[in-house]
Structure 1
């Protein structure tokens, strides 16, 4: 079985339509059909059922698809490992992160990393479906909320943070150092929309505290939320360390007693080869958040 044939097979698995798959491969439909028959003859069972105009994978087809994908993943790993031998710091790092505040906070890290690895392309992809992007090899590394242990992944916990209330400097609570959860009742809030991890965490915590919050405006941008707080539109509940990025806006941060806690982790496929640049990026990310927690200056 040749790699070219496996590529044809995987394209048909993806399209489940001989004409579409052949078009995307740049070959004729009879050629694709003939190559699929060659594979089926070799494995001894049908890989697809043709029902009228519909094409569906058989159980054998699904099994071969899983292993064929693994073949190409391992081939990519080999190419990356060999490229690492040249130590040119080239290549591409694809990073999926929680949208909103987390991708915003990575900017200083990205600047420093580029100075050390100027030939490495870094793609930061905000996503609420990080796990599947990692498992489907759409990205190399995921940065998100801590999950239960998963045998398919390497998981590295790197940061735990609390949440605080952020208010305009003239807000009636601006001089408070700490408030109770009940103090949040009735405060007009600007928040992330439902479906964002940060919002879901807050909503779950509110249910546990048996209180409801009042949102008057929602946006998916951390910068927009803090601009709204600056203009006195409302307060917001966000990770406590975010104030470092918005000190100049005349905003006060207030500790919430028993606040929500967010645990973050890095994760990548257990069979994924990580380049020198990717491994270094993960180390830098851990150090970056460690220094944010301790207040130390990175070396």
Structure 2
């Protein structure tokens, strides 16, 4: 059994289609079929049931998939640990973050990180499905709202913060230092669309406070939301520390009594080798946000 064959097997397990799997592997369909047949002959059991043009994994195929994923992951861990040992400071770091203010606020972290690791290719991938991206090994680290305990993951809390109401400096509420939740009702708001973590957190908080809010406009960009506030179109509810970045727009942050709070954490698969550069990135995140 060769590593190459396991890679072929895993791709077919994922695609469940010989032509598609062969295309993604960059080999011919007959070559893929032959290698899967060699693997099945060696193991003495079929790994896939052929049902016309469709295939499904057999029980043996499902079992092999579990172990093959571990083998491939351990091989990748070995490669990365040897790269670290050689201290070449090269490689690839993939980070999934909330597609809102977090990716915007991480710019300073990325600049400092690049100064120490100029040869590391960094990909910051906005996503509302961070957990699955980490579990499916599409990224190395996830950065977002705290998740439920999971035996497959290492979790590192790094920041907690409250939310404030942001208004234009000429807004009728601008001179207030604090408002109560009920004052948010019927207030024209510009917010993230439903499905964004920040918006879902606010909606849940509103339910707990027994209030409802009206959105006049919705956009997935924190920059555009604050531009809309600057234009006087509406107010927005965002993490309190964002005022440091947008105060120059003539915007005020007003504290909210019993404010919504969010807890942020980084997480990664506990069977994954964490490179020195990845550790350095997480250390910078903790330092920056605190």
TM-score range, shorter chain: over 0.9
2:252 paired residue number: 252
Provide Cα deviations, 1:122-180, integer angstroms capped at 9, x if missing partner: 11100000011111111000001111211100001110000000001011110100010
Instruction: Using the TM superposition, give the Cα deviation of residue 60 of structure 1 relative to its aligned residue in structure 2, in angstroms.
Output: 1.4
1:85 aligns with 2:98: no
Instruction: Using the TM superposition, give the Cα deviation of residue 230 of structure 1 relative to its aligned residue in structure 2, in angstroms.
Output: 0.6
2:131 paired residue number: 131
Q: Report SS of the residue matched to 2:121.
A: strand
Q: Report SS of the residue matched to 1:246.
A: helix
Instruction: Using the TM superposition, give the Cα deviation of residue 255 of structure 1 relative to its aligned residue in structure 2, in angstroms.
Output: 0.3
Unaligned 5+ residue runs, structure 2? none
- TM-score, structure 1 length as denominator? 0.94
Moved more, 13-22 or 252-261: 13-22
User: How many residue pairs get matched?
Assistant: 290
For residues 128 and 281 of structure 1, what CA distance do their matches in structure 2 show? 21
1:202 aligns with 2:202: yes
Unaligned 5+ residue runs, structure 1? 291-299
Matches within 5 A, 1:86-101: 86-101=86-101
Instruction: Using the TM superposition, give the Cα deviation of residue 25 of structure 1 relative to its aligned residue in structure 2, in angstroms.
Output: 3.4
Moved more, 163-172 or 57-66: 57-66
Provide Cα deviations, 1:265-290, integer angstroms capped at 9, x if missing partner: 01000011111111001001001001
1:188 paired residue number: 188
- TM-score, structure 2 length as denominator? 0.97
Instruction: Using the TM superposition, give the Cα deviation of residue 26 of structure 1 relative to its aligned residue in structure 2, in angstroms.
Output: 4.1
Matches within 5 A, 1:253-292: 253-290=253-290
For residues 102 and 221 of structure 2, what CA distance do their matches in structure 1 show? 10
For residues 261 and 104 of structure 2, what CA distance do their matches in structure 1 show? 19
Instruction: Using the TM superposition, give the Cα deviation of residue 24 of structure 1 relative to its aligned residue in structure 2, in angstroms.
Output: 3.8
Mark the CA change 1:23 to 1:282 in structure 2 (over 3 Å): closer, same or farther: closer
Provide Cα deviations, 1:55-107, integer angstroms capped at 9, x if missing partner: 11112111211211221111111111101112121111100001110100001
1:54 paired residue number: 54
CA RMSD for the aligned pairs? 1.2
2:111 paired residue number: 111
2:179 paired residue number: 179
For residues 192 and 27 of structure 1, what CA distance do their matches in structure 2 show? 43
